[in-house]
Amino acid sequence: MSLTQGVLDAQTAPAQWIVIATAVAALAAVLPRPIWRLSRNAITIAHEGGHGLAALVTGRRLQSIRLHSDTSGLTVSRGRPTGLGMILTAAAGYTAAPLLGLGGAALLGSGRVTLLLWLATALLVAMLVMVRNAYGVFTVLLTGGVFLLVSWLTGPDVQSVFAYAVVWFLLLGGVRPAFELQAKRRHGGAPDSDADQLGRLTHVPPALWLLFFHAVSICSLIGGGRWLLGV
């Protein structure tokens, strides 16, 4: 069997209790604040990666990505300061993790566990090229290394559990940042957030952009959860 066939082959879905257990494990990584301070780094990788990918797709010049130990990040791209490309780039951050989770759920729903793991690894490698600070390089290397080790050194059962846990984490963890941003803005914080930038770019109130972020993350969780649970 060729490598391509192995990656594209479908695997049998795990037992329902395993799917539910991975959801509970992912929820445990999202809800408690002390754990979330650490696990949120993975959501930041998706967030900044979303900005970067949108910049490239819309023809902007991606210059750098930085990830910080306080789970913040910064993606810098060059191009027109206004227009559709800039709007899509700004909107891609808070929607990236939920949409990645939704796409991952679609792949798992069709049994493509190995394909999901290799696609995730490829995206992390591509992102690593643009990371420009030591902490960012460390976190992306660590995350990519985990995916690579699971893909190469473990069997189908372990790969399946890992993939389901990752996708549940993206879906569940993708919901919380928009609520955190909403709380910061309520208290006068984050004056240059993605929602505020989008408000200036589109003349649509930032509160409506926050509502958009909430809608994308919650709808992705509902849709992705149904695929993962097979309902």
| 224 domain residue, yes or no | yes
Question: What total number of domains does the chain contain?
Answer: 1
| 9 domain residue, yes or no | no
pTM for the structure as a whole: 0.94
Considering only CA atoms, give the Rg of the chain. Answer: 18
| 204 domain residue, yes or no | yes
| 7 domain residue, yes or no | no
At 66 the pLDDT is 97
| 5 domain residue, yes or no | no
Which residue segment(s) compose the domain that 178 sits in? 14-229
pLDDT in tens, 177-225: 999 999 999 888 878 899 999 999 999 999 999 999 999 999 999 999 9
Burial 104-135 (b: 16+ CB within 10 A, else e): bbbbbbeebbbbbbbbbbebbeebeebbebee
At 3 the pLDDT is 44
Distances (CA, A) of 137 to 74, 132, 201: 14, 7, 31
| 4 domain residue, yes or no | no
Q: Which residues contact 204 (CB under 8 A, 6 or more apart)?
A: 198
